[in-house]
Every structure is written in C-alpha cells, then in structure tokens.
Amino acid sequence: MSASTREQAKQYLATHKIPQMFESLLSCLMIERPDDPVVYIEKKMSEIKQIGLDKVNWETFVFHLHPYRYPVRLANIHDGSKYDKEREQEEETLAEMQREKSMGEDYKSDLFKLTEAQ
C-alpha cells in the first residue's frame, strides 16, 4: 500500500467517523455484554442511523452510566466539574422557563393602571 493510498484510507475513515462509531459500539458491548452481540450491534447501528453518525462518540451508548451523571450525585455534590456546570445550566434554564411562564400568567403592566379610569 503506497503512502498516498494509506493517507486516502485514513482520510476516508476520519471523514466518515468510522473510529468513533466502532469506539461507541465497543464501549457498550464491553459494559452490557449481550448474549447475542450481532443482534445487539444491529440494534445499535439502527440507533446510529437515527441520531446521525456525526453525533456519535465513544460514550454515545454509555453516557448515562457515567458516575458523574448519577442523579443523586448531581443533586448533592457541587464540585465545579463540567457535569456540575451542566446541572447548573439545566437548573438555570428551568428556572428561566418557570419565570417566563409565571410572568405570562400573573404579570400586569403598569400601563393598564395608568389608562384605567379612577
């Protein structure tokens, strides 16, 4: 295999994110250890088609298992980690949505008070 052919092959794999796809499949296979790995891989390949290969990385199918993502830990430990920051952002987003919702229900502009007959 010539150097240019090897580079073309590397470029092909990188362009189509083949290593990321296999990393994600191997990660979930190592953790879940299904009885029928072929059926399991077919199912995961179907999921990859749905979410899009460009969004796949090694933790795609094991993301929820990360110890930092454990809900009890996220709720109680605030250590400044990136997961803690993600939780803070989610809480801020939820709080903002709640403010907007309550403002829409209860808010009355002072403009109406000024124009009402006394």
37 and 52 both lie in a single domain: yes
Residue 46 tokens, joined: 């179907």
Does 48 fall in a domain? Answer: yes
Task: Give the chain's domain count.
Answer: 2
Residue 117 within a domain: no
Helix (H, G, I), strand (E, B) or coil at 109: coil
**What residues make up the domain containing 72?**
66-107
Phi, psi of 108 (to 5 degrees): -130, 125
Exposed/middle/buried for 44, CB within 10 Å: 0-12, 13-18, 19+?
buried
pTM of full prediction above 0.85: no
> Is residue 2 domain-shared with residue 52, that is, in the same domain?
yes
Same domain, 26 and 8: yes
**Residue 93 domain flag:** yes
Q: What is the pLDDT along the chain (118 residues), one digit of tens a residue?
A: 777 899 999 999 999 889 888 888 888 898 889 999 999 999 999 988 998 888 887 777 777 676 666 677 667 777 777 777 877 888 899 888 888 877 765 555 565 555 555 5
